[in-house]
Structure 1
């Protein structure tokens, strides 16, 4: 969106085309050789790793090889256009977050049309820089699943992983970059109903544990930060005008569009769309097919780059947005006539 900000309709069409034709092979090696090679390295390391500890070539970097993702990003995300988009004020700022394995800090890399003072918080900092495809790879490097990405910043290098790790305040970068209103697209339901408490005598599979851990990393912080912003907004609304002028805080309008269905439930219905080698790998980790006894689909949802699943996600996103069409129209300041045209 940022790199094609001079033609928003074209940018959306490009993204739609990619998501409508997604295949796992576009993101990671899903063939038997690619999956088996990385899997064999993990098995070797877990079984006789003590004997091979000094041989770096036997140290697996990740469960899957995401080298195809490099080519996909280079084809569909022309980062070389970003400076022009910023200079022409089509975009005010763009931030990409990543978590440093080297320092333990959560880092926001950003580029802006006007100078913005970098910020430093506890275990969080911001670095102004020219954004590259490598920053996108780092931000999407799911721990254990995809390899860490090496980035050079401020004269030194460090290894980075997925930007949601240690991201205790996911709304913070946008606020620091000057946002007065925020549209938040969530990946998890904001108000999850209480689960039915039934006896479960089965020990949780590796896939269940991994999916639970990933959900806590990728989903929980956003809901907490949105609640924090709502409390701050309510507090500011109670302050008299003079007190409001003397505080650095300011109200920030926030519209959250979150899925009305659990994405792992949708993923469970589309497991058969995955390539055979990946299904075999996930089955070995404890992922089972859809049904009342479906297990581990949360883990599978992070690997399901397949058109049947992405079509279902797009349809759900459209339905959830249209269900709140009046809120969306008010947020963007659209008149009702324009809203009706947009829906058609």
Structure 2
């Protein structure tokens, strides 16, 4: 529950004598921990939207508070990972150049494989918006969120069984679809 305790949305969770919230909010370098623990490879399950094949239509109105809040959460959860990946690739390139010139370094290259969902979470959340209890839907409408809002906030709040099962199924199917790449990355022999 602590990993879902997004500040301002869900309260922190008490475990023994300490309170915990979502770690990604203050983890500005999410790859730092596994790298410092000695990882040679990092398999990353991301939550970034698949790249659109067509441009979004231009917004005809000023973004509302719900849209901005959703964008801020997207930034916290995906932009920090993307910048950290970019930084790791630059360090890997530096290590490669140093090795080519026989320059000793304590740095080592770290391989990564990033897997992102094949479907947009916001779209899936929109399709399951009516799973929210009526009281929650009413509260959301009061802050400007409806079933077809531009805000990704719904995808962060929707913990209803139908939606979470859909996310689990999507993750499983995406994993199966990329099984060869995952097995090759992990250097595991397929049975």
Question: How big is the shift at 1:204?
Answer: 2.3
Displacement of 1:335 in angstroms is 2.1
2:11 is aligned, of 138, 147, 158, to: 147
- Map 1:164-243 onto structure 2 (within 5 A): 164-189=24-49, 191=51, 195-200=55-60, 202-240=61-99, 242-243=102-103
1:164 partner SS: helix
Q: 1:261 to 1:221 in 2, by over 3 A?
A: same
Q: How does 1:260-275 map to 2 (within 5 A)?
A: 260-275=118-133
Deviation at 1:183, TM superposition (A): 0.9
Q: Where does residue 167 of structure 2 map in the other structure?
A: 313
Q: What's the RMSD between the two structures over aligned residues?
A: 2.5
Q: Does 1:257 align with 2:115?
A: yes
Residues of 2 paired with 1:297 and 1:309: CA distance? 17
The Cα of 1:166 is off from its aligned counterpart by 3.7
* Cα distance change on mapping 1:172 and 1:190 into 2, 3 Å: farther
TM-score for both structures, normalised by structure 2: 0.86
> Where does the alignment leave 5 or more consecutive residues of structure 2 unmatched?
none
- Give TM-score scaled by structure 1 length: 0.50
What residue number does 1:276 align with? 134
> What displacement does 1:191 show?
4.8
The SS at the match of 1:183 is strand
2:68–2:151 contact (8 Å) kept in structure 1: no
Q: In structure 1, the residue corresponding to 2:114 is in which secondary structure? A: strand
Relative distance call for 1:221 and 1:213 in structure 2 (3 A) is same
1:226–1:219 CA distance, 2 compared to 1 (3 A): same
In structure 2, the partner of 1:57 is none
Larger radius of gyration: 1
Higher strand share: 1
Tell me what 1:59 maps to: none
Judge conservation of contact 1:273–1:308 (CA < 8 Å) in 2. yes
- SS of match in other structure, 1:184: strand
Unpaired runs of at least 5, structure 1: 1-68, 70-136, 339-344
How far apart are residue 147 of structure 1 and its match? 2.0
SS at match of 2:34: helix
